[in-house]
């Protein structure tokens, strides 16, 4: 049987450092410095006062994320938090299935499964291509130089998710800024709550309008199919819409920006992508592994005693499945710090694992592939417009990404 926790007080434990102390956006995850020796699991103090187990090897990360004893419900007492929670209100929780456990979780997720199947996403590809071309046209007409985050990485997934959900793109400044507040670690509880309230109010009005007017988009279909039939309440539909809108643009935007920075460091790969766009799927998988933008990992609460990697985890204890370090596990990825498109990175956990594994991954993959191929074809001479060591990271976000990416061509 496994070792049980000796009981140092949280004050003796290393603090899970947030923001992550890295010098350059493409540095390996600094979190692995928290590991003592060969231990795949170690205890860390959390910025909110408690402590949690840090799980860092690929096999154990998968084990935690697929194990039914681990809950994703942040409202449960003892849940490991990196930021204090506002006082939970029922309205705030409705429809947010990313924080729910089975069987409740599955009821919501299944309503969306058909929308995100590969064949549904394939039908969106012409729109993604048009979107990419449109923002590249604008960027080329206005530049050089340009901020690739502002001109390309952020608007492309924002417009695509607007189109899919049926959210007016002209409101992008509103929902982008509120999403950023939600994902920001240094804002106050009140500010985070305010941003969540504003997003809910906005999408509540939109859901009401879809109920009245119908439409040919995901939210209109959800309203027509489920809300009308009584399977879903208004607040639940609104919560699902908030989740999809926030998760659907910010993540992919950060991936496009960081991926471009990686490609500028590997000009051979950038040129190869232009010469053979068939390389894009393998490139995208390796970028997902290498960048792992959900850098702070996935927190879970043990609801029963479980043994993970030889360590006994007790009911009521928190765990953080550290995706970024698991995706650099030498046992799973040889020479893991090397960016290697040909390694076959498909077993990475950048989209998580288990019941909550990212529902948007076919969409994210299609957007990344199309956006990066178009960039390589259109701007073969793309280069940084500032020194490489001055590219600014967004330091205070739960999602790893660049503030700006000044480029020229």
Angle at 257 between CA 256 and CA 258, to 5 degrees: 95
How many CB atoms neighbour CB 304 within 10 A?
A: 13
- Least distance in angstroms from the C-beta of 142 to ligand HEM: 27
Instruction: Determine if 255 is a binding residue for ligand HEM (CB under 6 A).
Output: yes
Q: Which one of residues 352, 370, 372, 373 is an interface residue with ligand HEM (CB under 6 A)?
A: 352
Local structure of 51: helix, strand or coil? strand
For residue 29, give the DSSP letter: P
Stretch that binds ligand HEM, among 48-56, 132-140, 250-258, 266-274 (CB under 6 A): 250-258
The per-residue DSSP string of 335-398 comes to TTTS--GGG--TT--TT--GGGS-TTHHHHHHHHHHHHHHHHHH-TT-EESS-GGGPPB-TTBS
Q: Is 54 exposed, middle or buried (0-12, 13-18, 19+ CB in 10 A)?
A: buried
CB closer to ligand HEM, 89 vs 110: 110
Stretch that binds ligand HEM, among 40-48, 125-133, 190-198, 356-364 (CB under 6 A): 356-364
What residues form DSSP beta bridges with 55?
Answer: 41, 321
Radius of gyration, alpha carbons of the chain: 21
Instruction: Determine if 244 is a binding residue for ligand HEM (CB under 6 A).
Output: yes
Stretch that binds ligand HEM, among 136-144, 268-276, 347-355, 387-395 (CB under 6 A): 347-355
Q: Which one of residues 350, 370, 374, 379 is an interface residue with ligand HEM (CB under 6 A)?
A: 350
Instruction: Determine if 358 is a binding residue for ligand HEM (CB under 6 A).
Output: yes
- One character per residue 271-310, x = contact with ligand HEM (rule: CB under 6 A): ----------------------xx---x------------
Instruction: Determine if 356 is a binding residue for ligand HEM (CB under 6 A).
Output: yes
**Which secondary-structure segment (H or E) carries 301?**
strand 298-302
- Where residue 37 falls (left for φ over 0; alpha for ψ -120 to 50; beta otherwise) is left
Q: Which one of residues 29, 166, 257, 360 is an interface residue with ligand HEM (CB under 6 A)?
A: 360
For ligand HEM, the binding residues (CB under 6 A) are: 72, 97-98, 109, 161, 243-244, 247-248, 251-252, 255, 293-294, 298, 350-352, 356, 358-360, 363-364
């Amino acid at each position: 049987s496994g070792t049980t926790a000796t009981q140092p007080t949280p004050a003796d434990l290393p603090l899970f450092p947030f923001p992550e102390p890295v010098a350059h956006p493409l540095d390996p995850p600094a979190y692995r410095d928290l590991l003592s020796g060969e231990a795949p699991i170690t205890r860390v103090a959390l910025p909110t006062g408690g402590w949690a187990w840090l799980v860092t090897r690929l096999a154990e990360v998968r084990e935690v994320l697929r194990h039914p004893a681990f809950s994703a419900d942040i409202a449960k007492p003892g849940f490991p938090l990196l930021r204090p929670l506002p006082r939970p209100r029922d309205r705030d929780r409705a429809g947010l299935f990313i924080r729910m456990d089975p069987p409740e979780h599955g009821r919501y997720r299944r309503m969306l499964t058909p929308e995100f199947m590969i064949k549904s996403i394939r039908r969106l590809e012409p729109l993604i291509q048009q979107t990419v071309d449109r923002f590249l046209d604008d960027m080329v007409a206005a530049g050089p130089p340009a901020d690739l985050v502002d001109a390309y990485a952020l608007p492309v997934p924002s417009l695509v998710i607007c189109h899919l959900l049926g959210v007016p793109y002209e409101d992008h400044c509103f929902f982008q800024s509120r999403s950023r507040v939600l994902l920001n670690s240094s804002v106050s509880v009140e500010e985070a709550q305010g941003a969540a309230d504003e997003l809910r109010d906005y999408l509540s009005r939109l859901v009401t309008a879809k109920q009245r007017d119908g439409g040919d988009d995901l939210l209109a279909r959800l309203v027509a199919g489920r809300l009308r039939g009584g399977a879903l309440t208004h607040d639940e539909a609104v919560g699902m819409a908030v989740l999809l809108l926030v998760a659907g643009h910010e993540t992919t935007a950060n991936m496009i920006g960081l991926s471009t920075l990686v490609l500028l460091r590997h000009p051979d790969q950038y040129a190869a992508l232009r010469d053979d766009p068939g390389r894009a799927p393998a490139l995208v998988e390796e970028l997902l592994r290498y960048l792992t933008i959900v850098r702070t990992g996935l927190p879970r609460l043990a609801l029963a005693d479980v043994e993970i990697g030889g360590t006994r985890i007790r009911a009521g204890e928190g765990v953080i499945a550290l995706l970024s370090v698991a995706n650099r596990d030498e046992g799973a990825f040889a020479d893991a710090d090397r960016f290697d498109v040909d390694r076959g990175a498909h077993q990475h956990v950048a989209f998580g694992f288990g019941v909550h594994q990212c529902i948007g991954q076919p969409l994210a993959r299609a957007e990344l592939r199309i956006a990066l191929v178009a960039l390589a074809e259109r701007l073969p001479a793309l280069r940084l417009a500032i020194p490489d060591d001055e590219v600014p990271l967004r330091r205070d976000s739960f999602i790893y990404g660049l503030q700006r990416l000044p480029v020229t061509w």
